[in-house]
Structure 1
Amino acid sequence: MGENMKLPTLQEIFDAHDGLGSDKWATYFATYDSHFARYRQQPITLLEIGVQNGGSLEIWGKYFKSATRILGCDIDDRCSELTFQDDRIAVFIGDANSVETREAILADTATFDIIVDDGSHMVSDVIQSFALYFPSIKPGGAYVVEDLHTSYWEDFGGSSDLELSSMGFFKLLADVVNKEFWRNSRTDFNLLKSYAERYSIALSDVDLDIDEIAFANSICIVRKGVGRKENRRHIAGHIFKVNGGAAAFRSGGPELVADLHIADRLTGATEKQEQFVNVTASALDNIGEIERLRSEVSDGRREMEKLHASLKSSNAELRSAGEALKLSNSELKSASEALQKLQGEIAALRNSTSWKITAPIRRALTAIRRRST
């Protein structure tokens, strides 16, 4: 293809695509065009974790016409039914983070120029996948993570940077880009220790060679270094009227550190980074304790709600019993009044003239009954 012939953009290819389905956030297109321009006409290899309907693999094939191998991996068994006319494309079924699936992928293609993680978007999966597959990126290659907005959502395992989210992880990798200015050749601590322990992965900033990290809306691109090289000074011109000493500084290495008198700064910077690792671990312990206390408070609230409901029910029963007692008291009062009335009537009868006149007759009747018995 001639140098002056304009290559179609990713969105142009995407919009013209009429094959297997795919969807991408609109902001991704310009980001990919910017960062993938260097690979467009190269014989690259590409892996995409999470292929869903398979359309993205077909689109990558059109976008990277000179690519030699385009692999996909998906945990959904139904992806095994996908078929492709492009024989450069193949799909592996399984959990990309499992030993078996990873070995199968790397047996097919040992290294990749580009890896795109569009998988589960769970924080743990994102970080584990990076630890497992970034070593398989070729020098100068790119590792891409899509849909990083899920890093803020709890149902994806997300939260704040302090609680070791995936966004927090990639922001911390920005320090790895600059590690020659703070690590000071020390290897007795690991900037990524908290993540390594939380997600049970083998990961150390000492082993990572990263030249560039770029963020856009919901996406991060990590470009692997081409072999860690010292960032040396280059000098142009020979007239230094404002700061003549700058021309006398040596270009790099221990000599430049000595010229600039910054050895103490490097030592201090290293100590600050080590302090960050320790403080993060302590903060995580505190967060764990806070979560435990929150759980206890939540349990306490639920128990209080149960007690409140029980008390409410008891109050209702007590009110019902009170109403019944009130009714019984009323009936007892009525019975007492009736008894008093009856007693009054009996007393009145006994004091009456007729009762007195008939007294001999009652006595005679009583005597007759006794004789008959």
Structure 2
Amino acid sequence: MHNESLRDLFYSHRGNLIHKWDHYFDIYEKYFAKYRGQKVNMLEIGISHGGSMQLWKKYFGANVHVYAIDINPDCKKLEEENTTIFIGSQSDKAFLENVASQLPELDFIIDDGGHTMNQQRVSFETLYMKVKEGGLYLVEDTHTSYWAEFHGGLKNPNSFIEQSKHLVDSLYDSHVIDKSKVTINEITDHINSIAFYDSIVVFEKQLRKKPFHKQIGKKTIKPYEPTELKKETWFESFMSRFKKKEEHPFAANDGGITEL
């Protein structure tokens, strides 16, 4: 069992090619350290030359099984002990559903595939529920959400980043008055948190419990409500002035009598 950090394992790696942003390793350690030495089933979308699969096996140990998806048929030859590789497109929903039917419950999924908006969205919507309770779904290289060639763009509503921002509202669905503006479905019911990092979005999969609150203990002071909570809407302000006008048709000021 290796004790080196994932970053150390990466920089000492001499196997197949791996391509990673250096700051990813801090994010990986934060979420993956608890899995080291445990029985782990993971899925990686996009494996290129297969170096990352070798890295995961070094990091997690002998009890990890790496399932992988790549569109390049040549990647099938990278299959080795404790790895299973499926060849197909991550934007093909039927293909992904077929793969999912052959997978066990997964501790986490890493989407490091083609990085286009459609690929990330279809993969997320199709595979998210394959993650076990308490598991993770990571989408890498989400900076492509800001690039037109990947069908993204700043504030583009179809980008994965903007769609992920929209999903934040679902975490508050118990408090939202107009639920027609919030996405509520099986997936959002099982999103416990969403964390945004430079180029990575992490979803924690857990059925969210309905929030509740209680008051316990004796009240000891007079209640005080801040005036900021009593801001009137335009209509409320109009009706208030109208009511005053009915009660006092005329009011005095320094310049004489003025009608309200």
If the length of structure 2 is used for normalisation, what is the TM-score? 0.76
1: CA distance between counterparts of 2:222 and 2:31? 39
Correspondence for 1:149: 143
Correspondence for 1:218: 199
Pick the aligned partner of 1:9 from 2, 5, 18.
5
How many Å apart are 1:240 and its aligned residue? 6.9
Q: Secondary structure, in 3 states, of the residue corresponding to 1:23? A: coil
Correspondence for 1:45: 41
2: CA distance between counterparts of 1:25 and 1:234? 46
C-alpha contact 2:129 2:187 (8 A) present in aligned 1: no
2: CA distance between counterparts of 1:116 and 1:151? 17
C-alpha RMSD of the superposition: 2.7
How many Å apart are 1:138 and its aligned residue? 0.9
C-alpha contact 1:151 1:166 (8 A) present in aligned 2: yes
1: CA distance between counterparts of 2:16 and 2:187? 39
1: CA distance between counterparts of 2:91 and 2:40? 23
1:229 correspondence with 2:209: yes
Quick one: percent identity of the two aligned structures? 31
For 1:284-363, list aligned pairs within 5 A.
none
Residue by residue over 1:320-356, the C-alpha shift from the partner in whole angstroms, topping out at 9 and shown as x without a partner, is xxxxxxxxxxxxxxxxxxxxxxxxxxxxxxxxxxxxx
1:138 correspondence with 2:132: yes
1:163 correspondence with 2:143: no
CA gap of 1:174–1:40, structure 2 versus 1, over 3 A, is farther
Counterpart amino acid of residue 230 in structure 1: K
Bigger helix share:
1
Correspondence for 1:308: none
2: CA distance between counterparts of 1:234 and 1:7? 45
Residue by residue over 1:286-319, the C-alpha shift from the partner in whole angstroms, topping out at 9 and shown as x without a partner, is xxxxxxxxxxxxxxxxxxxxxxxxxxxxxxxxxx
Pick the aligned partner of 2:182 from 184, 191, 197.
191
How many Å apart are 1:14 and its aligned residue? 1.2
Which structure 2 segments of 5+ residues have no match?
A: 224-260
How many Å apart are 1:234 and its aligned residue? 7.2
How many Å apart are 1:42 and its aligned residue? 2.9
Pick the aligned partner of 1:28 from 7, 24, 28.
24
Pick the aligned partner of 2:169 from 161, 175, 199.
175
CA gap of 1:77–1:230, structure 2 versus 1, over 3 A, is same
Residue by residue over 1:157-214, the C-alpha shift from the partner in whole angstroms, topping out at 9 and shown as x without a partner, is 0123343211101111221222222168x5xx3634xxxxxxxxxxx54642211111
CA gap of 1:240–1:42, structure 2 versus 1, over 3 A, is farther
Pick the aligned partner of 2:115 from 89, 108, 121.
121
Bigger strand share:
2
Correspondence for 1:61: 57
CA gap of 1:83–1:69, structure 2 versus 1, over 3 A, is closer
CA gap of 1:115–1:67, structure 2 versus 1, over 3 A, is farther
C-alpha contact 1:40 1:66 (8 A) present in aligned 2: no
1: CA distance between counterparts of 2:156 and 2:92? 27
1: CA distance between counterparts of 2:199 and 2:93? 28
How many Å apart are 1:95 and its aligned residue? 0.8
Larger relative contact order, structure 1 or 2 (CA cutoff 8 Å, min sep 6):
2
Q: Secondary structure, in 3 states, of the residue corresponding to 2:174? A: helix
C-alpha contact 1:176 1:205 (8 A) present in aligned 2: no
1: CA distance between counterparts of 2:69 and 2:123? 12
Counterpart amino acid of residue 69 in structure 2: C
If the length of structure 1 is used for normalisation, what is the TM-score? 0.54
Dislocated runs of 4+, deviation >3 Å: 204-207, 232-236, 238-241
Correspondence for 1:286: none
For 1:67-82, list aligned pairs within 5 A.
67-82=63-78
C-alpha contact 1:47 1:72 (8 A) present in aligned 2: yes
1:94 correspondence with 2:96: no
Counterpart amino acid of residue 15 in structure 1: Y
Residue by residue over 1:91-111, the C-alpha shift from the partner in whole angstroms, topping out at 9 and shown as x without a partner, is 111112324532442233132
Q: Secondary structure, in 3 states, of the residue corresponding to 1:113? A: strand
